[in-house]
Amino acid sequence: MQIIRSPKVYDVCIVGSGAGGGTTAKVLTEAGADVVMLEGGPMWDSATDSAMFAWNYESPTRGWGGDRKPFGVYDGCLGGWDIEGEPYTVGRGAWRWFRGRMLGGRTHHWGRISLRFGPDDFRRRSIDGLGDDWPVTYDEMKPYYDKLDSFVGIFGTNHARETGLHNEPDGVFQPPPAPRAHELLIKRACDRMKIPVVPSRLSILTQSINGRPACHYCGQCGRGCSTHSNFSSVSVMLPPALQTGRLTIVANAMAREVTVGADGLATGVSYIDTQSNTEHQIRARVVVLAASCCESARLLLNSKSTLFPDGLANSSGVVGRYLTDSTGLSVSGFVPTLLDTPRYNSDGTGGMHLYIPWWGDNAALGFPRGYHVELGGGFGMPGYGFSGGIHNFPMSQGGGYGASLKEEYRRYYGAFVNFAGRGEQVAREDCYCEIDPNVTDRWGIPVLRFNHTWSDHERLQAKHMQETFRSIITEMGGTPMGTMPGPNQDYGLAVGGLIIHEAGATRMGNDPKTSVLNSHCQAHDVKNLFVADGGPFVSQADKNLTWTIMALAWRTAEYLADERRKGSL
């Protein structure tokens, strides 16, 4: 196949347009760099392409999306767990991998839960002796979190002051929306149990900012927001980058490898144009991988040359290693108090208004790391699966049919609450992705093989989640749904990858023998190569990743811009 080479040499080539890529593009273009961005999927515009205000009854499946749209037919994220022609394989253990394929990547998928890490989250080894400390401290990260809060917009409150939890630092917050009724009921029970329930931190606007109007509370953030009132890379990061006139976006460009010169420096990226199935090469002075944690690791491992026989930036052998996902499990409960609650529009923002930050003292518990709890309930939009399994609902007639059943459906609507735990996995070298020696995707690019298992650290944490959620439901006067899974079922712990918080596959560190990137997310082995997604994370934290991916990308991009100014890149 003939390779089509771009005549132009860009200052920076960014692979990926999601949280990390979008942030990097904004900061670099505003600093004067001429940037080209490769995106594996199609272009997408929140203003015109979202399914805002669509009804489930307008879809023949009533919202069910099948394999192509696993989070519902109107979900704003293109991609999925199983993408035709783009397989992955599993070696030891189990793993699931959700991939976004569109401009903005998985920022279209996430719940806008924007929890900045706390001081402890950067130094877990110093606290419990497990994993490693980050080469960056909270104090070094704080200015970038603050910039992000101010620029993107996020609601929340000062947890540290409210709860005394020092690992929940303050931010630059817009006022949070008032809690929903079921959230207040949960809080009342948790207050008695000394479990903190505080306003959540979502990057959804309650006040207008930077020309973006405040939320209109349709509750369907996951479809993409036509008014740009929530965060996505497309709504927030890419417009200012495009406005500089210095950002070129190449869509449908599936990156194959980072190209390298005789001097061992990156020279650009080769990619397949998925529409014409032709191979192209983009040339750039600096390459930033922001393709998502595992895709960036895959790119490095596939970038083999005589200079770098084990893959690029992999002299340590650590690329792909220390792969983590958040732990996760959910428990729902039937709460009789909520039966026959007068109806009100409980949509609010597209996510919880209250949540539970990690409150436990791990030194006094049998497991080392914590979790936060995402709260659900209320009068959701009826759709596919509505009131499924009503024959199992506590206090119901146990199934049946006819007028009494119809009335039962009405009564039980809104009478459930849900608790989803999202916790920290301890990073281990033996959780990793590697290149499968036998399998390529439809573009001929070798695919990843995953090896991932949980340890007792995670299993015991899951047990604690189960017991806690069930006791909160009981304290509310309710009945937990389903029996608690036992140790042979990992206490209900979701398979790795299912929470879509992959991190660590190109981790940072001060020692080039045990890490891929230095403290500026710059490859130890290749100074003009950076990573700006979840890959650099040294540990997960009991918080969602996105806010830290972006704060870190912002910091990386500023460092990169400084180095360019000094002429060292």
Partner 1 sequence: MSGINRRTMLTVLGTAPVAAAVSFTPGTVQAYVAARAQAAQPYQRRFFTDREDATIRALADMIIPRDGRSGSATDSGAHEFIDYIVAEQPDRQTPMRGGLVWLDSECRRRFDKAFLECADAERRQVLDDIAYPAKARPEMSHGVRFFTSLRDLVAAGFWSSRMGVDDLGYTGNRPTVWEGPPREVLEKLGLA
Q: Which of residues 202-231 bind partner 1 (CB under 8 A)?
A: 207-208, 213-220, 226-227
Question: Which residue from 78, 79, 69, 76 is spatially nearest to 54, judged by alpha carbons?
Answer: 76
- Least Å from the CB of residue 276 to partner 1: 15
- Least Å from the CB of residue 434 to partner 1: 30
d(CA 386, CA 383): 6
CB of 184 or CB of 307, closer to partner 1:
184
* Residues within window 25-64 making contact with partner 1, judged by CB under 8 A: 42-45, 48-64
Give the one residue of 8, 192, 343, 513 binding partner 1; rule: CB under 8 A. Answer: 343
CB of 140 or CB of 407, closer to partner 1:
407
CB atoms within 10 A of CB 76: 28
The set of residues, in sequence order, having a beta carbon less than 8 Å from that of 563 and lying 6+ positions away, is 569
CB of 12 or CB of 375, closer to partner 1:
375
Does residue 341 interact with partner 1 by CB under 8 A?
yes
Does residue 247 interact with partner 1 by CB under 8 A?
no
- Least Å from the CB of residue 274 to partner 1: 11
- Least Å from the CB of residue 225 to partner 1: 11
Positive or negative CA dihedral for 518, 152, 370, 422? Answer: negative
Q: Between the CA of residue 448 and those of 97, 271, 433, 494, 508, what are the distances in Å?
A: 10, 17, 6, 21, 21
Pairing of strands 79-80, 89-93: unpaired
Taking CB under 8 A as the binding criterion, the range among 152-160, 232-240, 404-412, 438-446 that sits at the site for partner 1 is: 404-412
- Least Å from the CB of residue 405 to partner 1: 7
- Least Å from the CB of residue 21 to partner 1: 19
The set of residues, in sequence order, having a beta carbon less than 8 Å from that of 425 and lying 6+ positions away, is 324, 325, 326, 327, 369, 431, 454, 457, 458, 496, 540
* Residues within window 143-202 making contact with partner 1, judged by CB under 8 A: 177-181, 184-185, 188
d(CA 148, CA 501): 20
CB of 334 or CB of 413, closer to partner 1:
413
Exposed / middle / buried, residue 514 (Cβ in 10 Å: 0-12, 13-18, 19+): middle
- Least Å from the CB of residue 476 to partner 1: 11
Give the one residue of 170, 279, 347, 441 binding partner 1; rule: CB under 8 A. Answer: 347
Q: Where are the beta strands (DSSP E) in 427-483?
A: 432-440, 446-452, 479-480
Does residue 250 interact with partner 1 by CB under 8 A?
no
CB of 194 or CB of 406, closer to partner 1:
406
- Least Å from the CB of residue 211 to partner 1: 10
Question: Which residue from 274, 318, 326, 272 is spatially nearest to 297, judged by alpha carbons?
Answer: 318
Does residue 80 interact with partner 1 by CB under 8 A?
no
Q: The tokens 């749209």 sit on which residue?
A: 69
CB of 54 or CB of 447, closer to partner 1:
54
Does residue 344 interact with partner 1 by CB under 8 A?
yes
- Taken as a whole, the chain contains a residue count of 569
d(CA 505, CA 435): 13
Does residue 66 interact with partner 1 by CB under 8 A?
yes
- Least Å from the CB of residue 345 to partner 1: 4
Is the distance from CB of 198 to CB of 354 less than 8 angstroms?
yes
* Residues within window 372-391 making contact with partner 1, judged by CB under 8 A: 379-391
Does residue 443 interact with partner 1 by CB under 8 A?
no
CB of 28 or CB of 103, closer to partner 1:
103
Question: Is 345 in a helix, a strand, or coil?
Answer: coil
Q: The tokens 């010169």 sit on which residue?
A: 261
Give the one residue of 3, 245, 363, 406 binding partner 1; rule: CB under 8 A. Answer: 406
Question: Which residue from 17, 21, 13 is spatially nearest to 552, judged by alpha carbons?
Answer: 21
Does residue 346 interact with partner 1 by CB under 8 A?
yes
Does residue 4 interact with partner 1 by CB under 8 A?
no
CB of 455 or CB of 479, closer to partner 1:
479
CB of 23 or CB of 274, closer to partner 1:
274
Is the distance from CB of 330 to CB of 419 less than 8 angstroms?
yes
Cα-Cα-Cα-Cα torsion 61, 227, 117, 523, nearest 10 degrees, comes to 90
- Least Å from the CB of residue 344 to partner 1: 5
Binding residue count for partner 1, defined by CB under 8 A: 86
Binding mask 114-153 for partner 1 (x = CB under 8 A): ----------------------------------------
Question: Is 559 in a helix, a strand, or coil?
Answer: helix
